[in-house]
Amino acid sequence: MHESVAPRTTLHLVGMIACLLAAPVLAQDSASSKPGPAPRMADGHPDLSGVWWGGADIGARGSRPPAARDPNAVTYASLYQPWAVEKAKTLSDKDDPTLRCVGTAFGTLNVRMWNVGAVGQIVATPKLVVLLSETFHDYQLIPTDGRPHRDDQPPTYRGDAVGRWDGDTFVVDVTNFTDDTWLSAEGRVSFHSDALRIVERYRRVDAETLEIEATVEDPKVLTGPWKVPKQTLRLAPFDALLTLDCASDEADAMIRSASQPK
Amino acid sequence: MKDRVWMLLAGATLALGASVASAHHSFAAVYNMQQPITVKGTIVEVRLTNPHSWFYLDVKNDAGQVERWAFEAGTPSGMIRNGYKSSVIKQGEEVTITGFQARDPSSHIGMLRELVMADGTKFGLFGPQEGPNAR
């Protein structure tokens, strides 16, 4: 019996030593699987190109809890001026413009590139950055050659954007909005005025991570700027958004239903 | 009511309502999560549109008249990346849909919770319920 146990013990010891020796190797493998550095464009600035999401589609396994739902976060509507607080009381889900396929001025999950959704795409060149959203099929052109905002552009749902580089951070200034969208969707009352201005700061931390910070100002509606919680996006495992239409065929029925007493 | 069966459920429906809170509009605002509904009918069209997909079907009521119903499902991009294809559920397919009735009872719309095809294949709010990415 002893003769048979001894070799087994020896095997266990050998196995343990092998595991200990292997541990640094595994750690090295783990370290080497870290995302590489952010790629750069021909002009040396970080290349923001890619499809960016929170790690999963809405409703999918692993989808992140939206930062917008953090109960401790300061919300846009909490900064309403007194008259806006009163106006907000008259609005509800039934008034949400997105029910009729009108996108938001900002984004449901506090990511403007996503608009009403949870995925967006950036196509970047040294002179122009393009933001694409999947759900509402919209785009935004962001010139980066130092030109000012256009003076021939009528106000739009998504505004007029210009961009510049502050070191490795891409800064986007968006103005010239209409006042007939909400900042967000899902029935969260978040109207704004045509004085809305959004400043965003994009930073590609590494090959797979994009951080976005934003400040929202609306001196006609808010008591002060709203600093949006920082959003951390992941590079999606696919390289192109789907092309999908928005339809509002059932909008009237949905609005009637949303108007019913709860 | 042989083709429509109304049921009363409780806690589970509230849990579902919470789980879809990050959708593009508030389902709970439009649909009564206390009013489950089961509808059996024939698929007329599946529209993979934003912000949400819609399943249209014809349902016979108690008087034998055909009513057109529309059930709202998840965002199409999520369904498609979850493995759903337009060719899966075709016009004429017999299906049973369970979901929640609109707050306006005169509207023949509902929120889809589960769709079961004649062969027993099931789909959820965000498409296939089987496979590597199924929800």
pLDDT for A149-205, tens place per residue?
Answer: 999 999 999 999 999 999 999 999 999 999 999 999 877 899 999 999 999 999 999
Count of CB atoms situated within 10 Å of the CB of A97: 17
* Cross-chain Cβ contact A117/B21 below 8 Å: no
Query: Which residues 6+ apart lie within 8 Å of A33 measured at CB?
Result: none
Judge if A9 and A99 occupy the same domain: no
Contact A156, A174 (CB under 8 A): no
Nearest Cα neighbor of A257 from A181, A187, A189 is: A187
Provide the 3-class DSSP secondary structure of residue A257. helix
Judge if A72 and A179 occupy the same domain: yes
Residue A253 pLDDT level (bands cut at 50, 70, 90): confident
Judge if A61 and A189 occupy the same domain: yes
Q: Say if pTM beats, i.e. exceeds, 0.90.
A: no
A40 in a structural domain: no
H or E element in which residue B15 lies? helix B11-19
* Rounded average pLDDT over B114-125: 91
Question: Which range (A61-70, B86-95, B108-117) has the least confidence?
Answer: A61-70
Tell me whether A96 touches chain B (CB under 8 Å).
Answer: yes
Residue A80, domain extent? 50-258
Give the pLDDT of residue A64: 59
Q: B62-86 pLDDT, tens per residue?
A: 899 999 999 999 889 888 888 888 8
Compute the mean pLDDT over every residue in chain A, rounded to the nearest whole number.
85
Judge if A8 and A70 occupy the same domain: no
A59 in a structural domain: yes
A41 in a structural domain: no
Measured CA to CA, the distance from residue A47 to residue A38 in angstroms comes to 7
Judge if A17 and A82 occupy the same domain: no
Q: Which residue of A has its CA nearest to B54?
A: A250
A182 in a structural domain: yes
Count of CB atoms situated within 10 Å of the CB of A232: 13
Q: What sign does the CA torsion over B30, B33, B39, B42 have?
A: positive
Count of CB atoms situated within 10 Å of the CB of A119: 28
Residue A61 pLDDT level (bands cut at 50, 70, 90): low
* Rounded average pLDDT over A70-79: 85
Tell me whether B34 touches chain A (CB under 8 Å).
Answer: no
Judge if A28 and A79 occupy the same domain: no
Q: Domain B4-128 adopts which CATH fold?
A: OB fold (Dihydrolipoamide Acetyltransferase, E2P) (2.40.50)
Q: Who among A66, A186, A246 is closest to B50 (CB)?
A: A246
Direct distance between the N- and C-terminal alpha carbons of chain A, in angstroms, rounded to an integer: 77
Judge if A2 and A129 occupy the same domain: no
Residue A260 pLDDT level (bands cut at 50, 70, 90): confident
Judge if A29 and A75 occupy the same domain: no
Q: Which residue of A has its CA nearest to B28?
A: A258
H or E element in which residue B105 lies? none
Residue A79 or residue A136, greater confidence: A79
Interface confidence, given as ipTM, is: 0.76
A38 in a structural domain: no
* Cross-chain Cβ contact B51/A262 below 8 Å: no
Give the pLDDT of residue A69: 58
Judge if A227 and A253 occupy the same domain: yes
Measured CA to CA, the distance from residue B52 to residue B73 in angstroms comes to 6
For A119, phi then psi, to 5°, come to -155, 145
Residue A70 or residue A138, greater confidence: A138
* Cross-chain Cβ contact A135/B126 below 8 Å: no
* Rounded average pLDDT over B92-106: 94
Give the pLDDT of residue B130: 55
* Cross-chain Cβ contact A247/B50 below 8 Å: yes
Task: Give percent above pLDDT 90 in chain A.
Answer: 63
* Cross-chain Cβ contact B77/A135 below 8 Å: yes
Apex CA B21: angle with CA A103 and CA B98, to 5°? 105
Helices (H), chain A: 2-32, 82-88, 251-258
Q: What is the DSSP string of A170-220?
A: EEEEEE-B-SSSBSS-TT---B--TT-EEEEEEEEEETTEEEEEEEEE-TT
CA distances from B16 to A206, B31, B123 (A): 37, 12, 15
Q: B4-28 pLDDT, tens per residue?
A: 433 323 333 333 433 344 455 678 8
| A40: its two tokens | 């750069």
Q: Who among A58, A242, A260 is closest to B103 (CB)?
A: A260
Tell me whether A262 touches chain B (CB under 8 Å).
Answer: yes
pLDDT over threshold 50, residue B34: yes
- If one counts the domains in chain A, the total is 2
Measured CA to CA, the distance from residue A112 to residue A105 in angstroms comes to 8
A42 in a structural domain: no
Measured CA to CA, the distance from residue B37 to residue B35 in angstroms comes to 6
Surface of A (229-258) touching B: CB under 8 A: 238, 241-242, 244-247, 249-250, 253-254, 256-258
Judge if A96 and A10 occupy the same domain: no
Q: Who among A65, A99, A257 is closest to B103 (CB)?
A: A257
Judge if A12 and A76 occupy the same domain: no
* Cross-chain Cβ contact A242/B76 below 8 Å: yes
Residue B109 pLDDT level (bands cut at 50, 70, 90): very high
Instruction: Tell me the shortest Cα–Cα distance from B25 to chain A, in angstroms.
Output: 4
Tell me whether B109 touches chain A (CB under 8 Å).
Answer: yes
Q: Tokens 């493998």 appear where?
A: A29
Give the pLDDT of residue B133: 52
Nearest Cα neighbor of A212 from A200, A224, A221 is: A200
Q: Compute CA A119 distance to the chain's CA centroid, rounded to the nearest angstrom.
A: 7
Give the pLDDT of residue A25: 36
Give the pLDDT of residue A13: 36
Q: Which residue of B has its CA nearest to A261?
A: B103
Give the pLDDT of residue B5: 36
Count of CB atoms situated within 10 Å of the CB of B10: 9
DSSP B123: E
* Cross-chain Cβ contact A135/B51 below 8 Å: yes
* Rounded average pLDDT over B118-127: 88
* Rounded average pLDDT over B107-127: 90
Give the pLDDT of residue B25: 64
Beta bridge partners of A173: A162, A199
Measured CA to CA, the distance from residue A187 to residue A194 in angstroms comes to 21
Residues of A in contact with B25 (CB under 8 A): 93, 96, 98-99, 185-187, 254
DSSP A7: H
Total CB pairs under 8 A between chain A and B: 139
Judge if A29 and A62 occupy the same domain: no
Query: Which residues 6+ apart lie within 8 Å of A12 measured at CB?
Result: none
Measured CA to CA, the distance from residue A112 to residue A90 in angstroms comes to 26
Contact A112, A214 (CB under 8 A): yes
Q: Tokens 């935004």 appear where?
A: A140
For testing the chain A interface, which of B16, B77, B84, B129 should be mutated: the one with the most A CBs within 10 Å? Answer: B77
Q: Where are the domains of chain B?
A: 4-128
CA distances from A49 to A128, A129, A146, A201, B38 (A): 11, 9, 20, 15, 45
Residues of A in contact with B48 (CB under 8 A): 244
Tell me whether B76 touches chain A (CB under 8 Å).
Answer: yes
Torsion, CA A28, CA A32, CA A35, CA A39, rounded to 10: 140
pLDDT over threshold 50, residue B59: yes
